[in-house]
Amino acid sequence: MRLASDDDLSPLAARLVDGEPPLTGYWTPMLTHPTAGRSLRNYVVLTDCPELAAKLKLTNDEQFWSRYYWYARFSREWQAAKGYDAGLEQSVFKLLESGVEHGVAELDSFPEVEAAIERDAIVSPY
């Protein structure tokens, strides 16, 4: 299974930083954080910018697991920098739960994605 990489997403996420399309509903300090911000911006591209995400030609399964990967990675990075956040943890779980409940994703890929998050998340505090 392919996860959208930072190399895939960073050119698309750069457009978000330039205000194209305008972001609403996200807290600016999270989007601009030196470590966690990149992961959140990548999640935003996959979630809120379907016209940009379509350029990646991901399957539905790859799109879901890429969204989960970047959001769960953001959660780990943000909490490493700012401290535990139960609401953020719950939102990661709800994303996973919704994908499985609505038939978008199969749990077969979960261990692989969790291992990638554990390997890639930047967890040094800033």
Q: What is the largest CA-CA distance in the chain?
A: 38
More confident residue, 35 or 25: 35
Q: Check pLDDT > 80 for residue 46.
A: yes
Residue 105, pLDDT score: 83
Mean of pLDDT values over 34-53? 91
Render pLDDT for 65-81 as a digit per residue (tens, 0 to 9): 999 999 999 999 999 99
Q: Which residue has the tokens 């749990």?
A: 107
Count helices and strands in the chain by DSSP H and E runs: 7, 0
Residue 125 binned pLDDT confidence (cut-offs 50, 70, 90): low
Domain boundaries, the chain: 6-120
